[in-house]
Structure 1
Amino acid sequence: MRPIVCVLSVGMMSKVIMEQVQQMELPVDFILHELPLNEEVILAPSLDNVDVFLSSGYRAKSITEKTSKPVISIEISSYDILVALSNAIQYDEKPVIIIYENDYSKLNRIRNIISVNPIQDSYNELKNLEQIILKHKSAGRKSIIGSGLACSLAEKHGLVHTFILSQESIRDYLQIASDLAVSIHNKMKNYKQISSVINYANRGIVFTDAHGTISVCNPVAETIFQIDGQRVVGSNIIDLFANNELDRIFDIKETEINILAILNGKEYVFSAIPILHNEKLVNMLFFIDDVNYIQKVDRHIRENLTNKGFTARHHFHQYTSRNPSFQKLMATAKKISKTDESIVIYGETGTGKEVLAQSIHNNS
């Protein structure tokens, strides 16, 4: 499924945008949602899977109040006004520019460099827009510059109309909407994949900030804490332990810290992985494992290996040699077999490294 951009508009705006969409090869699906000519903006449930909304003026403002998803508002540029004026003066030497919410800043900026002196007007509510157009028609004006809705109403009343947004601006905003939708879509896809891994893992997983406040807690961890997930998120992981076993973890900056802790009468191994930025702790990732479960899995693996013959069968007493060097090697091997250190055995192929390793293991 591709990312989705929803265009919420009406009249000429819809037509111009969809014409540009057809010309541009963008990696998203654009859907057009034409709004009724009233002030109430209603987002249908069918739009829940939209990644980004694209609109302008009053409608963009209304949509922002009704959704938590990104809303890109198409804004008029000075270039747009210049292009629109150059077209409109062919029909009326004093065209009327109708702008939403008295935003004349861009028009005023270019007044000194153009010979045209347009009439400016504005609206704050959609119900007033048609009245404004009729007012200027009665005054003898022939050309209206404005939004898609303004152009549609001007056409309805027999006036020449010029859409205020240039094709270049529309294309720029379509590209911005596409890029944002792709970014959001990919992040949500990754989030869902990570959530699936976390939620279906057979071990507890908890994610906290640098102070221990929990932001992620999977179902296994909820069961371990015996607290509903909604109550766990936002609480501090340290407070969930009676004996403050985790207090010192947030002061240690090792790559991984393992702590044995008791919760509700059961033993668990907490593996804490600090996440650092510029050597400063920013988050902590916890993996929680039931000690009994670990031991059970370990026994199961050992039994399987034994059944398949993967056991250490050789012992030191099976060696016989009068060679002083070999006898010295055996004495050293017996000595180090009693330590907890890792042992590396070097030797040519076929010299008995595996036999010696099994003997050390059985003597440990």
Structure 2
Amino acid sequence: MSIGQQVMRVEDILIIAPYSELAKDAVQLRKKTDFKFSLILSESEIPYQQQVNPSTRVVISRGGTAKSLRELLELPVVDVPVTPSDILQAISAVIKCGHKKIAVITPTNILSQTNHTLELSDEVQLIFETDVGGQIADTVKRLIQNEKVEAIIGDRVATQIALQHQVHGHLLKSGEESLLMALETATNVLRAQTRERAQIKEMQSILNVINDGVLTIDPNGIIKVNNNSAKRIFNFAEEDIVGKKYSDCFEDPRLLKVIEEKKEERNLLHTTDNGKKIVVNQIPIYIDSVFQGSVGIYQEISKIQNLELNIRKRLSDRGLIAKNTFDDFVTMNSQMKKVISEARLYAKSEGTVLIYGETGTGKELFAQSIHNASKRHKGPFVSVNCAALNENLLESELFGYVEGAFTGALKGGKSGLFELAHGGSLFLDEIGEISPQFQAKLLRVLQEKEVRRIGADRIIPIDVRIICATNKSLYDLVEDGNFREDLYYRLSTLELDLIPLRYRKEDIIPLSVSFLKTEMEREKRNLSWGDTDVFFPLLNHEWLGNAR
């Protein structure tokens, strides 16, 4: 496939010919090659902006016309070059007309800046002058008056001025070869544009898949790229902020300072104008030690927490779920029904629950039921018996630890139960057994809602509802100085007192029947009885182990 065949549309390339001969050459070239382009002659009085098709991607022109087009259009403009052959042909034509002192005047985009005189012979003198200031008319007049030139070779403007002063003017034309070179250059520009568009489209697609907001800022603080997440986070959904100054879109002085200082800033907490809490990471871009702008990444804290919750859920696929609900309770006792009703109300709250009850009265059953009836029911339910672990082991289990924190620490560290319970509930059984030293650590976690693994320096925020249970009176422990008063009031926001089985004997037979049926299903055996009188002897037992 040739270069020309890759230009698919006529409107992609526009040739604006400053003189009719160039337009004729373009038409002939279009017939002989497979280049596709549109063509207009610049002699029209209609402004260029109105003549250019909106679909045009590259413009080709020459001389002063090309320079003007660069100022008027936001499109790449390719110059039709002037070859040495073109210059020699023009000089030869003027000499044949009998002129001896000849000036070649061109804009800087035809010949690079040059001002010198060349003696071809004793009779023929050439003056080359490049117009830098854009005042070709003044240059022509000066050469005619001061240098007494007999002929002017240049663009259309220069030759017209020469003729007005009765001096021979010869148009410096670009031949077919020059026009062909310009078309090849324009085609290469089109290819580069296509590659750039594809890269931008690919990058934009990638950015729009990312949940984090992304903004890129150039060295002047102008926003160059933004993704859909950034629009959503900052509520720019209906507004295009590309091309605007960063300082016009964001007023927070800390964000502006980060941009101004051109330094890396990570994990900066920020609240947007629409109330969203985000984490900002601003990364400067330096190329060869020169600042080229920066990239800002904006993460919604709520999404980070949800992601962390999902990760924790996957990590805690070890049965950290609450299996029981209020429907699992078997009771005929009016007081027990009242306790269950209270627990149902507590489930709707976020307050800490303290459950009192003897061993076997169903404290964890209540804890699980409260969790499953709460808005946290989709989160994890984590249970730990505080009396079963010594202080150091309990601390490592609840708070977790990093690798090397102590002898025997697992490689890679371990997540604590507070972390695993994030977004759910943590049941602390036998809370009255923890030491005063550990009580202080637990109080801090409840107050700050954050934990730090043993041996770590990073704080981990947590969102956990605490449900505690004890068979001791925490109030009495406070009175005796064995339990912190501030922790007691922190834990006892909502209280439940469970009734021992011996005080609700009407539940003994229903519970026995329920448990017996469960065992029959597990053992795949079938027992039958005439009536429940067969269970009456159970009523005479004290049942110190309660329902368990």
Q: Does structure 1 residue 295 correspond to structure 2 residue 295?
A: no
Alignment of 1:1-364 (within 5 A): 2=7, 4-9=12-17, 11-17=20-26, 19-20=28-29, 30-35=36-41, 37-44=43-50, 47-57=53-63, 59-84=65-90, 86=92, 93-94=97-98, 109=117, 112=120, 119-120=151-152, 146=171, 164-198=173-207, 201-209=210-218, 214-226=223-235, 228-230=239-241, 233-236=244-247, 240-241=251-252, 244=254, 247=257, 257-263=266-272, 264-278=274-288, 282-300=292-310, 305=314, 311-312=317-318, 338-341=400-403
Deviation at residue 8 of structure 1 after TM alignment: 1.7
Deviation at residue 31 of structure 1 after TM alignment: 0.6
Q: Contact conserved, 2:59 with 2:77, CA < 8 A, in 1? A: yes
CA distance in 2, matches of 1:252, 1:38: 50
- Residues 272-281 or 93-102, more deviating: 93-102
The TM-score with structure 2 as length reference comes to 0.41
Residue aligned with 1:236, SS: helix
Gaps of 5+ in 2: 1-5, 126-149, 321-392, 418-452, 454-548
Q: Contact conserved, 2:283 with 2:295, CA < 8 A, in 1? A: yes
- Residues 201-210 or 284-293, more deviating: 201-210
Cα 1:81–1:249 change in 2 (3 A) is closer
The TM-score with structure 1 as length reference comes to 0.57
The one-letter code matched in structure 2 to 1:177 is A
Q: Contact conserved, 1:207 with 1:284, CA < 8 A, in 2? A: yes
Q: Contact conserved, 1:214 with 1:233, CA < 8 A, in 2? A: yes
CA distance in 2, matches of 1:284, 1:93: 63
Residue aligned with 1:47, SS: coil
CA distance in 1, matches of 2:282, 2:312: 27
The one-letter code matched in structure 2 to 1:288 is Y
The one-letter code matched in structure 2 to 1:292 is S
Cα 1:236–1:114 change in 2 (3 A) is farther
Structure showing greater relative contact order (alpha-carbon pairs closer than 8 Å, 6 or more residues apart)? 1
Q: Contact conserved, 1:93 with 1:116, CA < 8 A, in 2? A: no
CA distance in 2, matches of 1:99, 1:213: 44
The one-letter code matched in structure 1 to 2:171 is G
Residue aligned with 2:60, SS: strand
Deviation at residue 7 of structure 1 after TM alignment: 1.4
Gaps of 5+ in 1: 148-163, 315-330, 344-355
Structure 1 residues 62-101: Cα deviation after superposition (integer angstroms, max 9, x where no partner): 5344312122333545531213455788xx6448999888
Q: Contact conserved, 2:400 with 2:415, CA < 8 A, in 1? A: no
Deviation at residue 361 of structure 1 after TM alignment: 5.6
Cα 1:190–1:258 change in 2 (3 A) is same
CA distance in 1, matches of 2:227, 2:197: 18
Cα 1:116–1:180 change in 2 (3 A) is farther
The one-letter code matched in structure 1 to 2:276 is K
Cα 1:146–1:202 change in 2 (3 A) is same
- Residues 13-22 or 115-124, more deviating: 115-124
User: What fraction of aligned residue pairs are identical, expressed as a percent?
Assistant: 19
Residue aligned with 2:55, SS: coil
Residue aligned with 1:271, SS: strand
Residue aligned with 2:37, SS: strand
The one-letter code matched in structure 2 to 1:32 is S
Q: Contact conserved, 1:100 with 1:124, CA < 8 A, in 2? A: no
Deviation at residue 262 of structure 1 after TM alignment: 2.3
CA distance in 1, matches of 2:196, 2:261: 32
Deviation at residue 253 of structure 1 after TM alignment: 5.6
Deviation at residue 223 of structure 1 after TM alignment: 4.3
Cα 1:100–1:342 change in 2 (3 A) is farther
CA distance in 1, matches of 2:61, 2:70: 10
**Aligned residue in 2 for 1:152:** none
The one-letter code matched in structure 1 to 2:233 is I
Q: Contact conserved, 2:81 with 2:179, CA < 8 A, in 1? A: no
The one-letter code matched in structure 2 to 1:340 is V
CA distance in 2, matches of 1:86, 1:283: 54
